[in-house]
Amino acid sequence: MDLDKVKYWTELSDYDLDTADAMFRTGRWLYVGYMCHQVLEKIFKAFWSSRKEEPAPYSHNLINLAQSCGLGQLLDDDKKAFVSQMMPLNIEARYPSYKQAIGESLSAEKCQEILIKTREVQQWVKEML
């Protein structure tokens, strides 16, 4: 286990969660979703670093990342569904043709739900580190 990498990824995950909260307070719904994806990606990389010797991969695919480090097998059905729901909020949000559609699918209520679930998953992973 590389404790420095675990700490590094965990701190970045916490920072991104604070950023997601800031985006929520300012009504930037698209970026709430994007930052919550980043929170999950980085806490998954912290888990990776706690289980593997090699560095976490340069990947934004939450499902593949979770599966490749053993975390995917620990996710219950609700967490798996949430992780799948979060996937397009990173990749597709980067491209203008998708921004409008994704932005329209996000509301204050939806983003509040995403923030709550993101915190829950992040805390669950932290408890295993």
Report the half-sphere exposure of 22 (CA within 13 A, side-chain side). Answer: 7
pLDDT tens per residue across span 92-121: 555 666 666 676 678 999 999 999 999 999
Per-chain mean pLDDT for the chain? 91
Q: Residue 42: which of 81, 14, 70 has the closest Cα?
A: 14
Are the C-beta atoms of 87 and 63 separated by less than 8 Å?
A: yes
Kindly tell me the burial class for residue 116, based on how many C-beta atoms sit within 10 Å of its own C-beta (0-12, 13-18, 19 or more). exposed
Q: Does domain 3-128 have CATH number 1.20.120.330?
A: yes
pLDDT for 105 equals: 77
pLDDT tens per residue across span 34-78: 999 999 999 999 999 999 999 999 988 999 999 999 999 999 999
pLDDT tens per residue across span 5-42: 999 999 999 999 999 999 999 999 989 999 999 999 99
Are the C-beta atoms of 71 and 18 separated by less than 8 Å?
A: no
Which is more confident, 125 or 103? 125
Alpha helix locations (H) across 26-93? 29-51, 62-68, 77-86, 88-91
Are the C-beta atoms of 36 and 118 separated by less than 8 Å?
A: yes
